[in-house]
Amino acid sequence: MSGRSAVAPLTRLEGLGFVVDPLDRLSYRREDADEVARLRARGDARAIVIARDMPVLLRTEARLEPLLPISEIETLGGAQIEALLGVTSGGAPVFAALIRDEAVEEQSDASDGFLDRRVLVVPGRDDLKLIDLRSIAAGGLVPPDEASMLASAKALMHWHARRRFCSNCGARNEVAAAGWRRQCPVCKMQHFPRTDPVVIMLAVDGDACLLGRQPRFPKGMYSALAGFLEPGETIEAAVRREIQEEAGVACGEVRYFASQPWPFPSSLMIGCFAEARSLALEVDRVELEDARWFPRDEALALLERRHPDGLAAPIPMAIAHHLLKRWAYDGVNFR
């Protein structure tokens, strides 16, 4: 069962966020400026508008609409960066646009727990609402395919916003390839959007699995261990290293489970199971507040939110939820 596609059939990963990629990205068209301009000029062209890393949604009678008429880009003062995301199955071109920071105003807000606390508004536009993508996805405010488009747009614009200068020579670089490349007019270095591979894994020992909690987690939440893959590592080596470093547990076999784009800011979550070869815990207190072995019945209680100590698993939008669920309900075969 491991190694199965993360998107087909979707029901097997019910609620996993950002995994439905609905667009034909038209990547072979990106160098064709005329074609990109034609697509942008079409009446059915739409824009996903990002301001200070947050999507701008259009409030309609029925719902919050993430695909705005492309004319809104100009209405909102124009874009710093635009990118062609692709075309929908219906054939509508979709662009991502990063508007100027000054186009929105920050307001303080009552805390809503672990969600982003900034509230941004577009002055004079009560029909527009800015909501951080985590809240949009966690709250199911838009359908899965739109959440995926928002993820691509946010990750790409976040990258652009912090790549105005050439890292090689310090000159201001230029946008190219319909927003999918930056290049330096001085040293000619080309810069491509960055995606950081992150391993997130459930170490298991027969009928028990290893979960930890970071200080920033919501109260009572325990999740799978995770960390960035480093240059020179295989996925499997990174999985073993992170479990060893964070919990002091040695692991043998590693099995791939599924992957998930995680646009906070621009990661690829690579979900795996790891076969524990030791049980004694030595928790890295810098990374983790706690780590412990949970027997299967407790894991089920975490998933079903009925744990006697009020502990809980991550919500279904996160791949950690599905790692735990797959193991708790179906088990994992390392042989």
Name the residue nearer to its own copies (CB basis): 57 or 312: 57
Q: By the 8 A CB rule, do 274 and 239 touch?
A: yes
Query: CA 131, CA 142: separation in Å to the nearest integer?
Result: 11
Task: List b or e across 197-230, with b for residues whose CB sees 16 or more CB atoms inside 10 angstroms.
Answer: ebbbbbbbbeebbbbbbeeebeeebbbbbbbebe
Q: How far is the CB of 312 from its own copies (least distance, A)?
A: 26
Query: CA 32, CA 9: separation in Å to the nearest integer?
Result: 35
Q: How far is the CB of 13 from its own copies (least distance, A)?
A: 10
Interacting residues with its own copies (CB under 8 A): 2-8, 18-19, 21, 25, 27-28, 148-149, 151-153, 155-156, 159, 162-172, 180, 189, 191-197, 228-237, 241, 245, 252-261, 263, 266, 268, 270, 284, 286
Q: How far is the CB of 137 from its own copies (least distance, A)?
A: 13
Query: CA 10, CA 19: separation in Å to the nearest integer?
Result: 9
Q: Which residue has the tokens 């809240």?
A: 135
Name the residue nearer to its own copies (CB basis): 205 or 284: 284
Q: How far is the CB of 219 from its own copies (least distance, A)?
A: 27
Q: What is the DSSP letter of 172?
A: B
Q: How far is the CB of 20 from its own copies (least distance, A)?
A: 9
CB atoms inside a 10 Å sphere around CB 290 = 14
Name the residue nearer to its own copies (CB basis): 87 or 301: 87
Name the residue nearer to its own copies (CB basis): 95 or 159: 159
Residue 123 burial (C-beta neighbours within 10 Å; 0-12, 13-18, 19+): exposed
Q: How far is the CB of 284 from its own copies (least distance, A)?
A: 6
Name the residue nearer to its own copies (CB basis): 81 or 122: 81
Instruction: Give the dihedral sign, CA 71/159/144/63.
Output: negative
Name the residue nearer to its own copies (CB basis): 255 or 307: 255
Q: How far is the CB of 247 from its own copies (least distance, A)?
A: 13
> Can you give the length of the chain in residues?
335
Q: Which residue has the tokens 């090689």?
A: 168
Name the residue nearer to its own copies (CB basis): 136 or 311: 136
Q: How far is the CB of 199 from its own copies (least distance, A)?
A: 10
Strand ranges (DSSP E) for the chain? 46-51, 54-59, 64-65, 68-69, 79-87, 93-99, 105-107, 119-121, 128-130, 174-176, 181-183, 190-191, 196-205, 208-213, 225-228, 251-262, 267-276, 290-295
Name the residue nearer to its own copies (CB basis): 119 or 189: 189
